[in-house]
A and B are shown apart, each in its own frame.
Chain A
Amino acid sequence: MRRGRGLRLFLRLRDWGAWAVIIVESRLLKAPVLRRRLGAIARLPFLRRWIGVD
């Protein structure tokens, strides 16, 4: 289904979404307390990687 143009559009939207997450992370996760809390909650490596606290 996501072949050709559809896949490219999907990947473009995904990239924009990723940048939105990065901008939010840059603004909100700078606070050490929040970062520490999230790091403590996210014990699983893939979760730590996903929220960028590793």
Chain B
Amino acid sequence: MRNQPTAVVLYNWRGQWPLRRWEHQRIFAWKTCFPGRTTFLNIGFPFNPTWITQLDPDLVMVDATALAARYTRVGLGGLRRAMDAVPPRSRRVAAPLDEFLGLQGLRDYLVEARIDLLLTALDPPLWDSVYPVGQRPFALRRFLTSYIDDGLMRRASSDLARRSIAVSYRAWETPAWLGEMGLIKREVGLRAAAWAAARGHRADVAVDGKRKLVGDAWIRLLGASRAVVGVEGGSSRVDPANGLPPETEIRAMSPRHLEAAATRTFQVLVEGDYSGVLEAGSHYQPVRRDLSDIDDALDHSRDPRRAQAMVDRAHAEIVTSGRYSWRTVVAEITDQVLA
């Protein structure tokens, strides 16, 4: 028996460079955090499936980018060829983070690929309806859309009072089929910009998908901002073909909320569960879903003592504690799967 476990991470990337920071971390955190040797295979490029057979890994991690091909024109052909070549003894882990898209295709594929452990960002009460017990021959484990990497954990941040931007925000032009949550994503940014304009503060807000920030640029913006607004990620409408009630809401904390905790930025967020990580009033300033109190909430960011105390508490409990670090979660997944 080998001393060190081996892992293969399958991902599919033919998109932009640089990647968004959290996307890069999710794929490559395994390199530094897995207690053994990790090989990465980008199946977006031609590959020979026998490479995977020859590597004979103990663990195969299927990243969300590889599973996302199910709802694009690329399709799951490449992933199928890769998974068919995985030796039977290898433990298989999959992490889809966008279950509200192409759910039935995903369910079918997870069974076909003989996944052992599914990492899901869904709230546990939704598990049985999204993955009915009789149709899931795999274990489920809660997985955040992102965790904190070593670089972010070590990052130093200036005091809120010294930051030049009053509020910042980025959102893409959300499609109507995301329902009310898609609308709030846009509205919360517009309201924050209006608040800053009315009070003569500087804002850096874009809600049309333009001025997108990738790599460290987004972290630098957060670090220069006193406050950031936001809402949980997900969708408030699901395709009835998936067998779920149409009004089902699939929500999860977005990576940006952990990043804001790491940069000690005051978070003004639409009230929600935030995957059980963020606590309203303690880690962020909550706002009602109709955004009627967003101006008052943003005004709290101008109170240096109160706002600084909140961001320091969020940093201590979420970042410094290590509970939500890549090191912790990769070690836990490895223990669970290879035990």
A residues lining the B interface (CB < 8 Å):
2-3, 7-8, 11-12, 14-15, 18-19, 21-23, 25-27, 49-50, 52, 54
**Known contacts A2-B54, A8-B55: A15-B40 contact under CB 8 Å:** yes
**Known contacts A2-B54, A23-B17, A26-B17: A54-B74 contact under CB 8 Å:** yes
Using a CB-CB cutoff of 8 Å, which residues 16-56 of chain B contact chain A?
16-17, 37, 39-42, 44-47, 51, 54-55
Which chain B residues border A22 with CB–CB below 8 Å?
13-15, 17
Q: Which residue of B lies closest to A49 (CB)?
A: B74
Select one of B14, B42, B47, B55 contacting A52, CB under 8 A: B14
Chief secondary structure at chain B's binding surface? loop
Residue B73 is within 8 A (CB to CB) of chain A in the complex:
yes
Q: Bound state CA distance, A21 and B138, in angstroms? A: 36
Q: Count of B residues near A, CB < 8 Å?
A: 19
**Subset of 30 A-B contacts with CB under 8 Å:** A3-B54, A7-B51, A7-B55, A8-B37, A11-B39, A11-B40, A11-B41, A11-B51, A11-B55, A12-B39, A12-B40, A14-B45, A15-B40, A15-B41, A18-B13, A18-B42, A18-B44, A18-B45, A19-B17, A22-B13, A22-B17, A23-B17, A25-B14, A25-B17, A26-B17, A27-B17, A50-B46, A52-B14, A54-B73, A54-B74
B residues lining the A interface (CB < 8 Å):
13-17, 37, 39-42, 44-47, 51, 54-55, 73-74
